[in-house]
Amino acid sequence: MLEKFCVHGGTPLSGTVRVHGSKNAALPILYSVLLTRGRTVLENVPPLRDVTSTLELLSTLGVKWERRPDGALELEVLREDGFEAPYDLVRKMRASIYALGPLLAKRGRARVSRPGGCNIGVRPIDLHLKGMLALGAEIRNEGGYVCAEAPHLTGRRIYLGGASGSTVSGTANVMMAAALARGTTVIEHAACEPEIADLARYLNACGAGIRGAGTPVVAIEGVSELRGCKYRVMPDRIEAGTFMIGAALTAGEVRVEGARFEHLAALIDALESAGACLQIEDDAVQVSSDGDFRPVDVTALPYPGFPTDLQSQITVLLSLANGISVVTEKIYPDRFIHVAELNRLGANVRKEGSLAIIHGVKRLSGAPVMASDLRASACLILAGLVANGMTEINRVYHIDRGYHRIEESLKGLGAQIERVPVEADSALLSLVPDASPELRERLGEYLQIAAAP
């Protein structure tokens, strides 16, 4: 079904919200199940579209899974004959590249479709391949696929720095492959994100020998076997940050449970600099504000810098600050597609290369807008919460990739937001029953445009 969000702005958010498990931590952990024998039980895995796509791919690779009544996922590898991640599944999400390391380490070969580009710019996998080559794999490109083979992997020192700094997905992929390699692997310039540390904790619980995860130098002592275990995925720091920005933006007062200072220090600093009031607890942050914001300069950097996945959301708040703010994107310089739609709501944001120069305005006004990617969707929802009148946000399938029923969480805080169906020609859409939700929604949009007077 085609859907959109209708948001009526002007209501301060108030109350308590509990964030779900981390998508960015859950995905590599799910792929690392390919390395294990026996049963794995994962708690706090969010029921997101990206998780569903991952489970679909894992099923083709011999993994049996079920979601238990308590919400936990139970997984076990029953067959180890598959080694291909086909294009039809990989195209649904770039995280499918995580299959490369585990398949190569456990099954000796992997054939993974290249994920290609996306709406936030080019995201190459050259550092993934560099790591696999260093561990002893033979790699060739064949018809849009990365084909890798190795009778066994051998640990060694690997430098994983790139043009934009460390690579989170590349670090995770090499770490998973090295867990079953012979000898010791040392990753220099490793990503320090909390999701990397969470992956290491899971692998260690399965019997791996990983030290230093969460620092720039990670050492992996290869083992002969990993066994499944029970593990709880960390809270989603990006979802937590989105709710924290929403609380400040709407001049509300919200306690965000699952928000951890050590994961969100850069955001907390930016919000306090802008004039918000924050109270820090062990596993929660309470955010309030009077809606009067000071301009702040923010730079999106690898962890522990400001998260690129919160760059578009903080831009909304700074668009209402009393002065000029500058947001610099050091990770994905093209990640500013949301700017044009935000300006449709009355913001005054100008993109200059990898910078967004934001002249604060008094208010935003509701209008129809189009989401371009996951985090831009969150940005536009936040803008709608504070805009005068109603904001219609199309292409809601983007946000379902990373936030579980975000409208329900926001309504629990008092927001006026509804997910509503969008009319389209059902007869024509029925001709493509197997099309992805993205394709069906885009076809629906084209049908609406064609039918417009």
Active site residue ranges: 118
**Encoding tokens for residue 132?**
């696999």
Are 74 and 111 a contacting pair, CB within 8 Å? no
Question: φ and ψ at 361, to 5 degrees?
Answer: -120, 165
The three-point CA angle 308-262-230 to 5° equals 95
What DSSP character marks residue 18?
Answer: E
In whole angstroms, give the CA distance from residue 33 to residue 102: 8
In whole angstroms, give the CA distance from residue 257 to residue 239: 11
What DSSP character marks residue 351?
Answer: E
In whole angstroms, give the CA distance from residue 312 to residue 248: 15
DSSP lists the bridge partners of residue 4 as: 394, 420
**Encoding tokens for residue 204?**
């260690």
In whole angstroms, give the CA distance from residue 242 to residue 117: 25
In whole angstroms, give the CA distance from residue 342 to residue 348: 8
What DSSP character marks residue 417?
Answer: E
Contacts of residue 132, Cβ cutoff 8 Å, sequence gap at least 6? 100, 101, 104, 139, 148, 150, 173, 174, 177
User: What DSSP element (H or E) covers 339?
Assistant: helix 338-344
Tokens 């008092």 — which residue? 414
Alpha-helical runs (H) found in 96-184: 100-107, 126-134, 168-178
Tokens 């992956």 — which residue? 199
What string of DSSP letters covers 128-141?
Answer: HHHHHHHTT-EEEE
User: What DSSP element (H or E) covers 257?
Assistant: strand 253-257
Are 294 and 273 a contacting pair, CB within 8 Å? yes
Cα 233 from chain centroid (whole Å): 14
β-bridge pairing 324-329 and 298-300: parallel
In whole angstroms, give the CA distance from residue 379 to residue 7: 13
The three-point CA angle 241-197-377 to 5° equals 30
Provide the angle, in degrees to the nearest 10, between the axes of the packed helices 23-32 and 100-107: 20
